[in-house]
Amino acid sequence: MKFSFKYIFTLLFLLVGLNNIAFAQTDHHLWYNKPAEKWTDALPIGNGRIGAMIFAGVTQDHIQFNEETLWSGKPRNYNKKGASKYLAEIRRLLFEGKQKEAEALAGAEFMGLRSEAGDKAKWVSEMKAGKGITGNPALGNYDDKLWKTLQVPSYEGWETVGLNNVDGAVWFRTTFDVPANWAGKDLVLDLNRIRDQDFTYINGQLVGNTDNLEPRNYTIPAKLIKTGKNTIAIQVLNYYDKGGIAGYKDTKRYIGIYPVGSTIENGVSLIKKWKYKIQNEEPPATPQYQASYQPFGDLNLYFKNVKSAVSNYKRTLDLTTAISTTTYTLNKVDYKREYFASQPNQAVVIHLSASKPKSISFDAGLSSPHLNSIVKVVNNNTISISVQVKDGALRGESRLAAEVKNGTLKVVNQKISIINADEVTLYLTAGTNFVNADDVSGNPELFNSVREIGLLGSPFESIKQAHIQEYQTYYKTFDVNFGTSENAKLPTDERLVKFAKANDPAFMALYMQYGRYLLISSSRPGGQPANLQGIWNDLLSPPWGSKYTTNINLEMNYWPTEMLNLTALNEPLFSKIKALSVKGTETAMEYYHAKGWVLHHNTDLWNGTAPINASNHGIWVTGAAWLSQHLWEHYLFTGDKKFLKEEAYPVMKRSAQFFEDFLIKDPKTGWLISTPSNSPENGGLVAGPTMDHQIIRTLFNNCISASENLGVDDAFSKSLQTKVKQIAPNQIGKYGQLQEWLTDKDDTTNKHRHVSHLWGVYPGDDVTWDKDAKMMEAAKQSLLYRGDDATGWSLAWKINYWARFKDGNHAMTLVKMLLKPAGEGVSGSYVNLFDAHPPFQIDGNFGGAAGIAEMIVQSHQGYIELLPALPDAIPFGEIKGLCARGGFELKIKWNNGKLENVEVKSKVGGTCKLRYKNQAISIVTKVGGVYKLNGDLKTL
């Protein structure tokens, strides 16, 4: 057969091209061609302790920053003394099917203690009397010409439409026109919800006052109304969290005014800009069950002489170096800014340079959303801001220091002013007085002084290289490559829009690495664990307090650590678990008269372990057991017997001791069950939720295994072996589903975001294909009933479920849903790829990254399974540094959906069992040994 040169050349070109598609250099950049407009557009940097969001504007650059230990609250006892005396009655009511009565009793007597309340009555009286405002804004002829305007209603709180971080008293005013045919008619003013209290006036007369979230439907007597223009004035008192005239969540319904007997559709809409005036921003302290993570402050750079348009604008985040860069051209000068959060130097570092000397001129100022904040001049190149958390024990100080190459540096009006510099380096440090959950005697000023001394005078390049070197000790342990795609040339925001309908597997690889980047940036040894938002938050009242929600979210944050080769980042979590076990010991005794320790569904900086919020979801008892699973998994992945003996097993054992005392026989079945508890956060307070039993059974089995491995506690192990067989088993219900509760009452139309009863599928191993294929099928049926659509973190959990079900294409459907643009009330990902519940929760980033890895390798059934759920969308790939239980690190490569080769590195020795499709092999390994196999699992 003869081949033309042209044919051979074309064939070689295609082969080379295919190889490039499969194994081209992985892209590690997020990038955009415009500055951030809002917080979830900005790019995050962090060193584990300090986090910052980079907006990268041209005329004004905004850097919002946090410090991991700035929280509300203070050290206190969260436990209600003697709560255990109500336990038996709550259980009796639940056994008798009296759920509402049980919830009422538990809500009254079984919740944790809240923080102290301020004098609400006094403050409301002062606001009604007009303290803090001139004149009487309720009057129709009040002069409001100088007031600002705000969109009404603000469906998610006035914080989202311009009153960021405002609690307190705010006046709103507007007018409406009454037609002649309404004369003599009573009117209905429909405002729906107002947060929290309102005093509503029409033409100077009070027509309504409500202090809750009930709908405002006020009837206005005809005598108060005049034909033509009328005035509405509303004094809104917001005590905590979201504020304002909220209107209807269904934005198709509008607030307005209409005649009695008619409908709002025939009335006058009040959806528009209203005038507003802040009267007071210091409401009394609202009692809180737990504390909230707080923003620290804002650094703003105000650039001078920016009069013409810029060109070549680009902002990037390089995941390989943890450096964000902004570049643009202005007046034929190329400008560059580099931002990073240095762990070695404990500072946010910003370096500004230009292609032409004397081109950099700007002012730099610090501010904070905390009312109790003061900016000071420290010296001729440094300013500081001190903040005090309202009604809390914590305070902090941040310092901004500048160094310039040539040019002029002055401190003017409490801002650093730089004129005609060649280069500028800014150093932002921050610290608080937090030492630990029981000690707030720290000295942030001294901390910042020491850091500043270490920074000033050091070459920028050496500080930068130290940062990169330290960061890459974590980042470079892993690499993933799913090939390239045409969309890789697009800015990240445009790529996100197209991903759902595009063939862009490289975007998934980038997302995995972004998840690793975020965890490295928010969880370093020696610090606090990543919270609901990592370490990034700009709100005084963040969603869910930006706390540690322990019925899924905190745990999901740490799903990537072992598989994605970031095991050292577990240290903050493990330290937290140890501290919680101390606080939880008292909770176990006060609430359940039990040994060991217990943790309910939330905790905070101060390590609260008592039930919070409401009895229908706050009384959930298996937080400690779930966190203990992370300790055991660390041992499985690392084989670190010293860790098991000294750190993991003592905590696991004490969690199991709690359940030895807590579990009670169900009077109908005779099984040991968990009660009172709930199936997060669905179905209310119950007896015997399936999730609890899966977690407790897994904890007992792990303790039995640990006892055997360590050669200790034989009697305790035998006790657990007896009891574990008595725990209520997983059950298949009438719809072929894995039951969520003890009785078969699942609702197949329920689309709740929590799929808690499938915990045993993932992250647990209570339900597996090898143990019980029928139960796995039932679990799959449950997930099918629950549906795909969900909040961001729930989508991430479902990716892991479908991976465990070995349905890679279904898992891929969830990946595409997770990586879609988030909108108003729509889950997915924001412009900066932060996970959207919505609002922002970082757990979806971490859970999604772990889920993609779970599609490639699984090791929870006693062997390593290769490509168990590989989707068609990732036909080519190579991963280095993926870890498996047993202490093995893998390098795996596949092509056209088939395994090409795998390399196994053994960290602790022992037998490595590998499976791929119908092939299986066992290798007796040595410590440090490397074993190479082809796609048929034959030794190379």
Question: Which distant-in-sequence residues (6+ apart) come within 8 Å of 301 by Cβ?
Answer: 60, 61, 63, 362, 363, 364
d(CA 485, CA 262): 58
* pLDDT over threshold 70, residue 376: yes
Q: Which of 578, 593, 580 is nearest to 649 (CA)?
A: 578
Residue-wise pLDDT for 478-501, tens only, equals 999 999 888 999 999 999 999 989
Q: Which residues contact 874 (CB under 8 A, 6 or more apart)?
A: 482, 505, 508, 812, 855
* Cα dihedral across residues 609, 615, 621, 627: positive or negative: negative
3-state secondary structure 675-706: CCEEECCEEEEECCCHHHHHHHHHHHHHHHHH
**What whole-number distance in Å separates Cα of residue 444 and Cα of residue 432?**
5
Structure confidence at residue 51 as a pLDDT band (50, 70, 90) = very high
- Cis ω on the peptide bond leading into residue 179 (within 30° of 0)? no
Rounded CA-CA distance 471/345 in Å is 12
Same-fold call for 29-73+290-476 versus 120-280: no
388, two tokens: 């005090």
The full set of domain ranges for the chain reads 29-73+290-476, 120-280
- Looking up tokens 């905190």, which residue turns up? 554
Which of the following CATH numbers is that of domain 29-73+290-476: 3.30.43.10, 3.30.70.2700, 2.60.40.420, 2.70.98.50? 2.70.98.50
Please name the CATH architecture into which domain 120-280 falls: Sandwich (2.60)
Give the confidence band of 824 by pLDDT, cuts at 50, 70, 90.
Answer: confident
Q: Does the pLDDT value for residue 5 go beyond 50? A: no
Whole-model pTM: value is: 0.94
Fill in the amino acid letter for 88: A
Structure tokens at 415: 């801002």
- The two structure tokens encoding residue 899: 């395994």
Provide the 3-class DSSP secondary structure of residue 553: helix
Q: Position of tokens 């307090």?
A: 545
| pLDDT at site 379 | 95
Residues 6+ apart with CB under 8 A from 675: 91, 94, 95, 664, 686, 687, 688
What pLDDT band is residue 25 in, cutting at 50, 70 and 90? Answer: low
Express each pLDDT in 123-171 by its tens digit: 999 999 999 999 999 999 999 999 999 999 998 899 989 999 999 999 9
pLDDT for 8 equals: 37
pLDDT digits (tens, 9 = 90+) for 270-293: 999 999 999 999 999 999 999 999
The dihedral sign for the CA sequence 617, 618, 623, 625: negative
State both tokens at 64. Answer: 């919002």
Written as six digits, the tokens of 813 are 């459907």
pLDDT more than 70, % of the chain: 97
Q: Quote the pLDDT of residue 385.
A: 98
Distance of CA 773 to the CA centre of its chain: 34
Please determine, for residue 611, whether its predicted confidence score (pLDDT) is greater than 90: yes
Kindly tell me if the per-residue pLDDT of 20 is higher than 70.
Answer: no
Distance, in Å, from the CA atom of 484 to the CA atom of 420, rounded to the nearest integer, reads 43
The whole-angstrom separation of Cα 873 and Cα 255 is 47
Segment 298-316 shows an average pLDDT of 93
Average pLDDT of every residue of the chain? 95
pLDDT band, residue 321 (cuts 50/70/90): very high
User: Per-residue pLDDT tens for 646-678?
Assistant: 999 999 999 999 999 999 999 999 999 999 999
Task: Report the pLDDT averaged over residues 545-554.
Answer: 97
Question: How large is the average pLDDT for residues 39-47?
Answer: 98
pLDDT of residue 26: 65
Mean pLDDT of 756-784: 98
- Per-residue pLDDT at 689: 98
Whole-number Cα distances in Å, 171 to 125, 138, 193, 282:
15, 9, 16, 15
Once rounded to an integer, what is the mean pLDDT over residues 456-469? 96
Res. 23: pLDDT tops 80: no
CA–CA gap between residue 87 and residue 254 (Å, rounded): 46
SS3 content of the chain, % helix, strand, coil (to 5): 30, 30, 40
Classify residue 803 by its DSSP letter.
H
* β-strands 423-432, 682-686 pairing: unpaired
Residue 14 has pLDDT above 60, yes or no: no
Token pair 């089995």: residue: 701
pLDDT (mean) for 233-242: 96
- The predicted model gives 54-73 an average pLDDT of 98
Quote the CA–CA distance of 508 and 480 in Å, as a whole number.
Answer: 10
Instruction: State whether residue 661 is helix, strand or coil.
Output: helix
- The neighbouring-strand residues paired with 429 are 399
pLDDT value at 562 more than 80: yes
Neighbours of 122 (CB within 10 A): 10
Please report the pLDDT score of residue 307 as a whole number. Answer: 80
pLDDT band for 305, please (50, 70, 90 cuts): confident
Residue 646 is given by DSSP the state I
Of all residues in the chain, what percent carry a pLDDT higher than 90? 93
Tell me 531's DSSP state: B
CA-to-CA dists, residue 477 to 25, 125, 286, 511, 563, angstroms: 16, 61, 46, 16, 11
- Which residues neighbour 442 within 8 Å (Cβ) at sequence distance 6 or greater? 431, 432, 433, 434, 435
Give the DSSP per-residue string, 103-129. Answer: HHHHHHHSSPPPPPP--HHHHHHHHHT
What's the Rg (C-alpha) of the chain? 30
Q: What is the pLDDT of residue 156?
A: 87
Neighbours of 406 (CB within 10 A): 11
